[in-house]
Amino acid sequence: MLTTAQVLAENNFGDTRTGGLAGPMGLFLIVLLATATVLLIRNMNARLRRLPDRFPQQAGPADLGHTDGTVVDPTDGTVAQESPTNGSNGSQQRRNG
């Protein structure tokens, strides 16, 4: 009969010493991901350098203190209709009577 220590010490994963491909494959993936990250960062930096300092719609620093006194109604005078509170719900079952 096997003891608990023998069951726990048993190698169920096969021969793990030969054909050690996990280490080199992991290194390859890390180098590949690092290279892709560096290339993406360089590409984004080049794109950001090509952007203008200000876009035409932006207000300049002198316009920041000036505020417009008009207030716009977001509903434009329309009132949303409320749903009835006692209406039937789709999850309720109908009773046949």
- Convert the pLDDT of each residue in 47-68 to its tens digit: 999 998 888 886 666 655 555 6
Q: 0.85 exceeded by the pTM?
A: no
3-state secondary structure of 33: helix
Tell me the C-alpha distance between 46 and 39, whole Å.
11
Give the chain's mean pLDDT: 75
Q: What is the mean pLDDT of residues 62-90?
A: 62
For residue 12, how far is the Cα from the chain centroid? Answer: 39
Burial of 97 (0-12, 13-18, 19+ CB in 10 A): exposed
Q: What is the mean pLDDT of residues 71-85?
A: 65
- Convert the pLDDT of each residue in 11-48 to its tens digit: 677 666 666 677 888 899 999 999 999 999 999 999 99
Q: What is the mean pLDDT of residues 80-86?
A: 62
